[in-house]
Amino acid sequence: MKTDLQKLTFIILKPFILFIILSLSIFVFLSIQATTRRPPPAPDSTALPSDLKIRPGYSSYDSYLQRQLNKTLNPKLRHIWTTRDWDRKVSKFAQFFSDLQRRDLISNSSRSLCIGARVGQEVAALRRIGVENSVGIDLVPYPPLVIKGDFHHQPFVDGSFDFEFSNVFDHALYPWQFVGEIERTLARGGVCVLHVLLSRRADKYSANDLFSVKPLEEMFKKSELIEVRSIDGFGLDTEVVFRKIRN
Ligand SMILES: C[S@@+](CC[C@H](N)C(=O)[O-])C[C@H]1O[C@@H](n2cnc3c(N)ncnc32)[C@H](O)[C@@H]1O
Ligand SMILES: *[C@@H]1O[C@H](CO)[C@@H](O)[C@H](O)[C@H]1NC(C)=O
Ligand SMILES: *[C@@H]1O[C@H](CO)[C@@H](O)[C@H](O)[C@H]1NC(C)=O
């Protein structure tokens, strides 16, 4: 009698037990699927330091590039940049670079890169003060001073430069990639100088807004911050200097 009752209980319970085991397996399987299928954490603005904001409104990388190119390719502006603006801007850049030369941050033998150099006024300035081995990159080339290249994917091998300069940090849609590429192509001991705007919002072609130097310190993972000073640089107010200390 007792064994009959046990048998009966088992017969009734069996489907339930099987059901629970099956459900658990499916649940575990689906959870594993979900974790493996999930894309890597998107380097979106929520992952960024709080003093750096990516501007919304770029629906794709292509729409970002189109916007950047729209101004850079403007024939009237290109004419002005290469004629009326030329000497004034080259002279001012030459002053900034001579200052860096005096502080031993750049030498005549430095292999130098200017990022987002447009028509290459900063490259011309470096060459004028004796830094012969200088070149610029921009989405639009302007030979021989500026070759074509996207600063999110610099067209150079690791450790190519001793000095990199840029005043276009605000144009980076992926600032951590902008910085990562600088640290990749700088040699150990190499210097990066950025001119940035902290006191107000930059222009309508900017892709990000920076509110302090702190985000830069966080992104330059292989470098040490060696200087921050106020400048008056074509609408930009702060010069930030990093030295790459490890590969
Ligand atoms: C404000 S202009 C600065 C030009 C130059 N540095 C100067 O001071 O005269 C910004 C430049 O960044 C370039 N640029 C924007 N996005 C870029 C990218 N992803 N890669 C390379 N250059 C880019 C634009 O084409 C433009 O020439
Ligand atoms: C680029 O500029 C032209 C005129 O100069 C304008 O018609 C066009 O809408 C602009 N495109 C973008 C993506 O801003
Ligand atoms: C660097 O080059 C400039 C221009 O050619 C020259 O005047 C200057 O003396 C050089 N500096 C050094 C330290 O050699």
**Same domain, residue pair 6 and 101:** no
pLDDT band at 156 (very low <50, low <70, confident <90, very high): very high
Residue 233 CB coordination number (10 Å):
17
Ligand 2 centre to CA of 149 (Å) is 22
**Same domain, residue pair 102 and 62:** yes
**Same domain, residue pair 77 and 17:** no
**Same domain, residue pair 108 and 199:** yes
**Same domain, residue pair 16 and 119:** no
- CA-nearest of 240, 242, 179 to 213 is 240
Q: Examine residue 190 and state whether it is found in any structural domain, yes or no.
A: yes
Structure confidence at residue 43 (pLDDT)? 52
Q: Examine residue 43 and state whether it is found in any structural domain, yes or no.
A: no
**Same domain, residue pair 158 and 202:** yes
Ligand 2 pocket list (CB less than 6 A)? 66-67, 70
Ligand 3 centre to CA of 128 (Å) is 10
Query: What total of structural domains would you count in the chain?
Result: 2
CA 39 – CA 96 distance, rounded (Å): 44
The answer to whether the beta carbons of residues 195 and 230 sit under 8 Å apart is: no
List pLDDT tens digits, range 59-72: 999 999 999 999 99
Q: Examine residue 115 and state whether it is found in any structural domain, yes or no.
A: yes
pTM of the model: 0.83
Query: Which residue range(s) make up the domain with 31?
Result: 1-38
Tokens in use for 224? 């040490």
Ligand 3 pocket list (CB less than 6 A)? 108, 130
Q: Examine residue 70 and state whether it is found in any structural domain, yes or no.
A: yes
Return the best residue to mutate from 83, 86, 139 for the ligand 1 pocket (most ligand atoms within 8 A of CB).
139
Q: Examine residue 85 and state whether it is found in any structural domain, yes or no.
A: yes
**Same domain, residue pair 90 and 173:** yes
**Same domain, residue pair 57 and 21:** no
**Which ligand neighbours the alpha carbon of 73 most closely?**
1
* CATH at 167: 3.40.50.150
**Same domain, residue pair 34 and 99:** no
Q: Is 62 helix (H, G, I), strand (E, B) or coil?
A: helix
Residues in the chain: 247
List pLDDT tens digits, range 125-149: 999 999 999 999 999 999 999 999 9
**Same domain, residue pair 191 and 79:** yes
**Same domain, residue pair 21 and 100:** no
Average pLDDT over residues 30-46: 43
The answer to whether the beta carbons of residues 201 and 227 sit under 8 Å apart is: no
Q: Is the dihedral of CA 109, 191, 228, 56 positive or negative?
A: positive
Average pLDDT over residues 204-232: 97
- CA-nearest of 206, 118, 137, 122 to 169 is 206
Higher pLDDT, 11 or 73: 73
The answer to whether the beta carbons of residues 137 and 117 sit under 8 Å apart is: yes
**Same domain, residue pair 60 and 157:** yes
Ligand 1 centre to CA of 119 (Å) is 9
Q: Examine residue 29 and state whether it is found in any structural domain, yes or no.
A: yes
Ligand 3 centre to CA of 95 (Å) is 14
